[in-house]
Structure 1
Amino acid sequence: MSRGAGDGRLFGANNARDLDIVRAVLGEKQLNLLGQSYGTYVAAVYGTLFPARLNRSVLDSAINPQWPWREAWRQQAIEQNAVVASDLRMFAEKFPYAWGAKSAVPQACAFNSRKPIEPLVSPRRSGYPQGLVVQGEFDPSTPYAGGVAMAAQVDDRLVTVVRDGQHVPYGDNPCVTATVDAYFLEGTLPPVGARCPGGDPASR
């Protein structure tokens, strides 16, 4: 795994290919996939590369498929700063040489000049059933606009978790969990414009 990350082989298309190897080893004709956060891109790419092998799919807290990774990280930083700016400021003042200072240190990937070994896959849905995209209205890790863009690009049904900043709400939000379970178990799609109630984003 570490070697793959170092030589440019660890990326969405190869992650999807790995999933298909797992499917074959298990002897399954098709997969049902729940992708969360970065996994939403991998699941969408899997459907793009192997449409006949994907049955039902749910993308929980989707990333924007139109953004290169640098832009995705930039937008995430903007949203997270907007949500917790005051808390981060107090934390940095209290611990100036701990996490507050460490968060400002440039990471190695910021200076990576390695060229990708193949173009990024632009997700699309053709040949597999319509799925779900679940997105929190105030999710700072995967901003809401990204979920809207993903749902539009792959023509999936968007479920909005209103007034909620939780990242990956499936399994915690009762409405989201019931909606996703009904889709996976019975193939029931929610209506267009479906909304699930959330909590105060500041409480997350």
Structure 2
Amino acid sequence: MECATVVVPLNYEEPGEGSLRLEVSRIKAKDEERRQGVLLFNPGGPGGGGLAMPLGSRDFEVAESFDLIGFDPRGVGRSSQLMCETVEERKPDTTRPTDEQFAEYTEYAQAREEACERAGGGIRPHINTANTARDMDVIRAALGEEKINYLGYSYGTYLGAVYGSLFPEGLNRSVLDSSIHPDWLWREQFLQQSVGVRSNVEAWAEWVGERDSTFGLGASEDEVLAATEALAAELAETPVTIDRERPEDWPAYWPREFDRDALDSFLALGTQPRPVWDVVAEVVAEVRAASAEDAPLSPDAGAAAANILTEQGIPRVESGVYDTVTCEADWPGDLATYYDDMREYRDKYPYHDFNGSGVVGAAPTTCTFRSFDPPEPLVGLERDGYPTGLVIQADGDPATQYAGGPAMADALDNQLISVRDSGTHGLYGLNECVTEKVNDYLINGVLPPSRSECDSAPRPDVPADDAPLAEREAAGADQGDSLEDRARDALADRSLWQTPARS
């Protein structure tokens, strides 16, 4: 992988005010005769570093025909960094804080905003989506290309849409994978993450309720949710210990006990990948039995729970970029608005997946106390002057709710690929159907129908209670492998972008 440095203005309106350094990477197309230009990546965030993304994509089919281009956006990684002073974590370590604890979220958000202002106040107004899109056009020119092809994930979908709106003459084919909703910038986007997480939990509860004879957690969605809430109340008083030590090859975060917070996070994370739903149900049943008997959780169930609890999705960036770019839109200034939402989300959306869902998504942020005025309004999105692109969206994606996909496709008059019954965030390279359609578009210029669908990894093959007796007897309740092995197997293919390319 080759690397280069590109110098861009801090402020495009006043180029003399100073410069920033951008680090750019490239892996050249494997087949020079088939080369069709460059494919530029962005992993999302805001604040995700994309410098290593060509390494993660070098075995993809597109690597034959395109130079793969990565870059660390302004403020990120090896580019000129925007950093915040370290602030001691002050938020309550619970998924269901009391009203009295709400002020701790406010104090932390205000302290972090002040710390970011002290460390990077001079450049913060210019760290925004529009300027990052302008930087992309400088990269295009530095590469000597008339146009770029683009593949962006999550926040990178919005960045790609802004680039096309500002520089339509510079964009050829574009793929927006797991799209931000163009009308939810930015607080509503955060709130909707919790709605998406709960939707997965409800879908899991409905599935489990149809298999009460197997799992014993209730015979309907409502009964299963009532059972988990009753268990949450018990675990808040008396957690269940996990009877297994952390293996040497596992991350430092290995739960020692299963309390209410662990249950909320376990359900949020475990109900996203459909193939692991049976493991989630069996672990919850074992936790409930252990709680009733005042006994420890078995080593097998504890290891399965830890597999899921350490599968934390896309890492939240800790530099100052996330806390700055998300302030490019206005946020409410009235704390009562946040506290009212926090009460609702604490009760209705307690499930927390480490990416901002639950009560955290409703709490005040640095943007509540924004110390700078954005130098420009948000860019109006349109597709006028570049080819029709693709938007990809999973209907159970909690990080970017499904509604964002159709909304972005409509805003840009793009084609939409919907991935059904999937909680996956970031699909190209993981979902075979999506990967095939995207490759056909990028390499051959062949668009799928305006609204097409792909399937995802199936739910567990556990017969419902109303299935024929022979089918239930043939399947049986015993899956053979341990809970730990089944959890590992079900999560094994979810790691493509959980690499330095997306951290």
TM interval, shorter chain, is 0.7 to 0.9
* Post-superposition offset of 1:5: 9.3
Please give the secondary structure, in 2, of the residue aligned with 1:41.
helix
Aligned position for 2:161: 44
1:38-75 C-alpha deviation (Å, 9 max, x unpaired): 00000011000000110000000000111120111111
Percent of paired sites with the same residue: 44
Task: Give 1:93's match in structure 2, choosing from 241, 260, 268.
Answer: 260
Change (3 A) 1:61 1:94: closer
Please give the secondary structure, in 1, of the residue aligned with 2:447.
coil
Aligned position for 1:189: 447
Q: Which structure 2 residues correspond to residues 5-84 of structure 1 after superposition, within 5 A?
A: 7-83=124-200
Change (3 A) 1:149 1:93: same
Task: Give 1:121's match in structure 2, choosing from 379, 384, 408.
Answer: 379
Please give the secondary structure, in 1, of the residue aligned with 2:419.
strand
Amino acid of the residue matched to residue 67 of structure 1?
W
Is the contact between residue 164 and residue 201 of structure 1 (CA under 8 Å) also seen in structure 2?
no
1:57-95 C-alpha deviation (Å, 9 max, x unpaired): 0000000111120111111122224435969x6765266
Amino acid of the residue matched to residue 422 of structure 2?
D
1:123-168 C-alpha deviation (Å, 9 max, x unpaired): 1100000000000011111001011100000000001001111001
Is the contact between residue 391 and residue 416 of structure 2 (CA under 8 Å) also seen in structure 1?
yes
Change (3 A) 1:177 1:141: same
* Post-superposition offset of 1:192: 2.3
Is the contact between residue 65 and residue 122 of structure 1 (CA under 8 Å) also seen in structure 2?
no
* Post-superposition offset of 1:115: 2.9
- Write the distance in 1 (CA, Å) between the matches of 2:121 and 2:173: 29
Task: Give 2:429's match in structure 1, choosing from 171, 175, 181.
Answer: 171
More off after superposition, 7-16 vs 24-33: 7-16
- Write the distance in 1 (CA, Å) between the matches of 2:149 and 2:404: 22
* Post-superposition offset of 1:109: 1.9
1:12-63 C-alpha deviation (Å, 9 max, x unpaired): 1111011111111111110000011000000011000000110000000000
Count of residues paired in the alignment: 200
Is the contact between residue 138 and residue 201 of structure 1 (CA under 8 Å) also seen in structure 2?
no
More off after superposition, 159-168 vs 102-111: 102-111
Please give the secondary structure, in 1, of the residue aligned with 2:451.
coil
Please give the secondary structure, in 2, of the residue aligned with 1:166.
coil
Q: Which structure 2 residues correspond to residues 94-173 of structure 1 after superposition, within 5 A?
A: 108-113=365-370, 114-173=372-431
Change (3 A) 1:201 1:10: farther
Aligned position for 2:468: none
- Write the distance in 2 (CA, Å) between the matches of 1:5 and 1:141: 31
Aligned position for 2:438: 180
Structure 1 residue runs of 5 or longer lacking an equivalent are: none
Is the contact between residue 132 and residue 156 of structure 1 (CA under 8 Å) also seen in structure 2?
yes
Please give the secondary structure, in 2, of the residue aligned with 1:171.
coil
- Write the distance in 2 (CA, Å) between the matches of 1:199 and 1:21: 40
More off after superposition, 194-203 vs 14-23: 194-203
1:165-189 C-alpha deviation (Å, 9 max, x unpaired): 1001110000000000110001000
Amino acid of the residue matched to residue 123 of structure 1?
L
Change (3 A) 1:82 1:33: same
Is the contact between residue 166 and residue 201 of structure 1 (CA under 8 Å) also seen in structure 2?
no
Please give the secondary structure, in 2, of the residue aligned with 1:158.
strand
- Write the distance in 2 (CA, Å) between the matches of 1:80 and 1:160: 18
- Write the distance in 2 (CA, Å) between the matches of 1:141 and 1:131: 22
* Post-superposition offset of 1:8: 2.3
Is the contact between residue 35 and residue 43 of structure 1 (CA under 8 Å) also seen in structure 2?
yes
